[in-house]
Amino acid sequence: MKPIKRGLIIVYHGNGKGKTTASIGMLIRALGHGYKVAYIQFLKSSVSGETKFLSKEPGVLFYSGGLGFVGIMGDKRSIDEHRKKALETLEFARKVLSEGDYYIVVLDEINCALALGLLKIDEVMPVIESRKDNVNVVLTGCTAPKELIEAADIVTEMVKVKHIYDRGYLAKIGIDF
């Protein structure tokens, strides 16, 4: 076995719970080793436990670029509005990744932005490829496109076996957000 000297591409995707949680666990691990990290949200805009914590934590660049849910939960915004915001967030991510100041950069829910058509894979791949060699990038959200899975060094699929949502319950504070 030999050490890895370059940044990795890591994908957490699937219909199961835990993608964002896993990425935040990785950020905490890196912070514990003294690294600076960045967390960039593509869809979420509500105040969650992780946003409250990460936005004030030293060593964390936190950026919430989403407008919230797309087409559900009372969303009245057009797809064009959501796409414009996703492109702005992608441009911010390009800047952060290409500067190389952060050991890990999480692009939270970017896979969902791709699945919803807010971003295109040919817009996202050049951004990931533009990162400095030392930067690890983590991409979360529903189903990742095959191009992203092929480019990744580590891919974990979260599979839902059972969830209380299926029985009509809402998200629970501290567990789901």
pLDDT band for position 164 (50/70/90)?
confident
Q: DSSP labels for 95-131?
A: HHHHHT--SEEEEETHHHHHHTTSS-HHHHHHHHHTS
Share of the chain above pLDDT 90, in %: 70
Domains, in order of start, for the chain: 9-167 (3.40.50.300)
pLDDT per residue as tens digits for the range 67-78: 777 656 666 767
Average pLDDT, rounded, for the chain: 91
pLDDT at residue 154, as a whole number:
98
pLDDT at residue 155, as a whole number:
98
More confident residue, 33 or 49: 33
pTM metric for this prediction: 0.93
37-41, strands of its sheet edge to edge: 60-64, 37-41, 104-108, 136-140, 9-13, 154-157
47, two tokens: 């105040």
pLDDT at residue 80, as a whole number:
83
Q: In this structure, are residues 79 and 67 in contact, taking their beta carbons and an 8 Å threshold? A: no
What distance in Å separates the CA atoms of residue 173 and residue 126, rounded to the nearest whole number? 36
What distance in Å separates the CA atoms of residue 79 and residue 94, rounded to the nearest whole number? 22
pLDDT per residue as tens digits for the range 86-127: 999 999 999 999 999 999 999 999 999 999 999 999 999 999
pLDDT per residue as tens digits for the range 45-58: 667 888 888 888 89
pLDDT band for position 66 (50/70/90)?
confident
Distances (CA, A) of 31 to 7, 13, 27, 77, 93: 16, 23, 6, 36, 20
pLDDT band for position 149 (50/70/90)?
very high
Residue 174: count of CB within 10 angstroms of its CB: 7
